[in-house]
Chain A
Amino acid sequence: MNSVVPRGLRVGLDLVEIAEVADSVAHFGDRYVRRIYTDHEIDCCRRDGREGSGATYAMESLAARFAAKEAVLKVLRPVEWQPAWRNIELHRMTGGWCEIRLSGRAEELAAEEGLGGLSVSLSHEATLAAAVVVGWCSPRTRRNG
């Protein structure tokens, strides 16, 4: 059976408590960081230039990136197999803004859904980080089952 993916905007929004991310880094250390974030994201969020277990991170930046990854998932709408977190990368441009780069299952899902480029906006204040992701969905036929 086939269904038509409707054309139009898709929006994803997510909030993350910065303290929750800090707790995860404190408890699981590098294993948490490496499981969720790409090497580029880790470089962008590292505070002191050190690597491995001695590294410290800008927790608000890690939290904003996690919120963005979750916001991307809300736009991609995976039904079964969820992309790995590292399949969604927030790539910081030289001007300071971020672009979303997809790979693996996330890239496949975007193609299946007819999603063109995604745009993201990140923000944070003392306790919360937020991200909004917008994508344009072209009409296309999706095979179900």
Chain B
Amino acid sequence: MTVDDMIRGVLTDHGRLAVPVESLADDTDLFGAGMTSHASVNVMLALEDAFDFEFPEKLLKKSTFESIDAIRGAVTEMAAG
């Protein structure tokens, strides 16, 4: 399973989006697609479970979770240490 598959899986399970995740482009605004702030907390925790790390405070901002592209960037940054 690719990183993108894992991110899209987390969004399917926890994003509470108004549209199917498959219909989202990588740069689609997830908050515009219906994700609430509270749902973004669940996405954050589920990403930590999926990738086995803990987001540092500097990445806990809306822009980190605003699109699949942004999430991939944060996951890549975390993976690089």
Query: A residues engaging B (CB < 8 A)?
Result: 14, 16-17, 20-21, 23-24, 27-28, 31-32, 35-36, 66, 70, 73, 78, 80-82, 84-85
- By a CB distance below 8 angstroms, the chain A residues around B60 are 82, 84
- By a CB distance below 8 angstroms, the chain B residues around A78 are 61
Query: B residues engaging A (CB < 8 A)?
Result: 16, 36-39, 41-42, 45, 57-58, 60-63
Task: List 4 other contacts, CB 8 Å, given A16-B38, A24-B42, A85-B41.
Answer: A17-B38, A23-B42, A32-B45, A82-B61
- B65: min CB distance to chain A, Å: 10
Contact across chains for A24 and B61 when beta carbons are under 8 A apart:
no
Distance, CA A80 to CA B39, complexed state (A): 20
- By a CB distance below 8 angstroms, the chain A residues around B41 are 24, 32, 35-36, 85
